[in-house]
């Protein structure tokens, strides 16, 4: 079998067939594959560039023009595609170029947004600093007004305190004068009292002696009366105990008599009951009595219909 040539000649080749190739990223790559199988080894692929290029490849899905004819673009110039691997490389380079451009645009938009956010933050900080300065100025003014009010109140308190101290000193001096006058009057009163006590001491002693004798006599009389009352009380207790003892003895005798009477009555009742029972048996032997069911309580009776 003859090996086909590795070169691609679009006019001399059979109609091209489109086939979906590998997927890179989010974009599907459409490759070109002829009806005949290329069994030869493709030439070495160039290394992927580190920086994305600005080349563009137009891919037509219906099999007409562009890639379908085996043509592509590299560095802005049309080039012929040797194999599907080169097509994938070109497609990947195009995707990298678009992705790099999109990334740069996103970075630029993010930088613009970040700068706007920083400007907004600076503006808010400036407004907040201005508000803080205004609030601080108002607080300083209020603080100074409060300090002035406190200073006035403190001065007023000091004046009131000074007046109060002067009033206390004056009151203390007047109290000292009054105390001296009272002390003189008290000494005179004590002297007069001592003189009166010396005169009335003997009278007081005699009066106290008379009262003591009277109290002693009253105490002796009370002791005699208490002794007599105790004797009367003991006698009454003794009589009450004797009466209680007699009453208890009488009740015990009555109880013995009542028990004896009850015993006698029960014996009489038993003898009478025995005689009645004997008479009843004799009568029942002469006149048979129909059988009666035993007595039962109302709740235990059986009602027959």
Q: What is the pTM of this model?
A: 0.24
When computed from its CA atoms, the radius of gyration of the chain, rounded to whole angstroms, is 72
* DSSP codes of every residue in 64-101: -SGGGGTEEEETTEEEE--SHHHHHHHHHHHHHHHHHH
Pairing of strands 71-74, 27-33: unpaired
Q: CA-to-CA distance for 1 and 220, rounded, in angstroms?
A: 170
Domain residue ranges in the chain:
17-99
Report d(CA 128, CA 115) in Å as an integer.
Answer: 19
Sign (positive or negative) of CA dihedral 282, 283, 289, 295: negative
Instruction: Tell me the torsion sign for CA atoms 89, 94, 97, 102.
Output: negative
Span 219-247, average pLDDT:
91
Nearest to residue 181, comparing CAs of 193, 170, 189? Answer: 189
Tokens of 141: 């003014």
**What's the mean pLDDT in 142-171?**
91
Look up tokens 């099999």; give the residue.
63
pLDDT on residue 294: 60
Work out the burial of residue 66: count CB atoms within 10 Å of its CB; fewer than 13 is exposed, 13-18 middle, 19 or more buried: middle
pLDDT mean over 5-28: 40
DSSP 3-state of 261? helix
- Looking at the chain, the whole-number percentage of residues with pLDDT higher than 90 is 35
101-143 pLDDT, tens digit each: 999 999 999 999 999 999 999 999 999 999 999 999 999 999 9
Q: What is the pLDDT of residue 284?
A: 65
């Amino acid at each position: 079998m003859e090996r086909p040539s590795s070169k691609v000649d679009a006019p001399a080749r059979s109609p091209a067939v489109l086939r979906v190739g590998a997927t890179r990223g989010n974009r599907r790559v459409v490759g070109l594959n002829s009806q005949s199988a290329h069994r030869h080894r493709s030439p070495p692929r160039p290394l992927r560039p580190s920086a994305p290029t600005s080349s563009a490849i137009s891919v037509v899905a219906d099999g007409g023009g562009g890639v379908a004819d085996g043509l592509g673009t590299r560095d802005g110039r049309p080039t012929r595609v040797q194999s599907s691997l080169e097509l994938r490389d070109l497609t990947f380079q195009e995707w990298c170029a678009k992705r790099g451009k999109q990334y740069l645009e996103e970075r630029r938009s993010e930088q613009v947004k970040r700068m706007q956010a920083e400007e907004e933050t600076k503006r808010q900080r400036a407004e907040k600093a201005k508000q803080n300065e205004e609030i601080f100025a108002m607080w300083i003014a209020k603080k100074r007004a409060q300090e002035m009010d406190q200073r006035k109140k403190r001065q007023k308190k000091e004046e009131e305190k000074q007046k109060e101290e002067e009033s206390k000193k004056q009151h203390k001096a007047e109290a000292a004068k009054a105390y001296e006058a009272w002390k003189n009057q008290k000494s005179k009163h004590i002297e007069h009292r001592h003189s009166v006590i010396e005169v009335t001491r003997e009278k007081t002693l005699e009066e106290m002696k008379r009262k003591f004798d009277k109290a002693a006599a009253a105490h002796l009389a009370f002791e005699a009366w208490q002794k007599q009352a105790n004797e009367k009380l003991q006698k009454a207790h003794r009589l009450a105990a004797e009466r209680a003892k007699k009453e208890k003895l009488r009740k015990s005798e009555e109880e013995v008599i009542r028990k004896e009477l009850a015993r006698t009555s029960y014996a009489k009742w038993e003898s009478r009951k025995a005689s009645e029972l004997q008479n009843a048996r004799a009568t029942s032997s002469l006149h048979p009595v129909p059988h009666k069911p035993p007595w039962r309580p109302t709740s235990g009776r059986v009602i027959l219909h």
